[in-house]
């Protein structure tokens, strides 16, 4: 798990619900749309490396990045919510 620092936030990002995917996770969507406050709370967003983080990438169920201008994060990065990770790890809860 990479340490996040405030100066590593994305400068410009646009995320929209993706109608072709299943329902998105609301607070992931909200975090992405806070622009300058993205990923401020490390407990809210978890870093993995399963998908390429580029425009057009699905971020969590149903949320797609349309435009992103990264300042720090590598291309092979996906941001998953802690809630989504918990649900994936414990599907029968």
pLDDT at 26 over 60: no
Residue 93 forms part of a structural domain: no
Domain span holding position 53: 6-84
Which pLDDT does position 87 carry in this prediction?
A: 63
User: CA-CA-CA-CA torsion for 80, 81, 82, 83, nearest 10 degrees?
Assistant: -120
- In tens, the pLDDT along 41-58 reads 333 333 333 222 344 444
58 CA to centre of own chain: 9
DSSP, residue by residue, 6-48 = GGGS-SEEEEEE-TTSSPPPHHHHHHHHTGGGTT-STTTEEEE
- In tens, the pLDDT along 60-80 reads 555 554 433 333 333 334 445
Residue 26 forms part of a structural domain: yes
Residue 14 forms part of a structural domain: yes
Rounded CA-CA distance 1/17 in Å is 27
Query: What letter would DSSP give residue 58?
Result: B
Which pLDDT does position 8 carry in this prediction?
A: 34
């Amino acid at each position: 798990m990479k340490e996040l620092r405030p100066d590593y936030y994305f400068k410009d990002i646009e995320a929209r619900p993706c109608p072709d995917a299943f329902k998105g996770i609301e607070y992931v969507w909200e975090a992405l749309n806070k622009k300058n406050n993205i990923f401020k709370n490390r407990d809210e967003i978890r870093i993995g490396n399963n998908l390429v983080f580029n425009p057009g990438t699905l971020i969590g169920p149903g949320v797609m990045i349309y435009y992103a201008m990264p300042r720090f994060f590598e291309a092979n990065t996906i941001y998953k919510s802690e809630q989504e990770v918990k649900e994936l790890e414990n599907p029968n809860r």
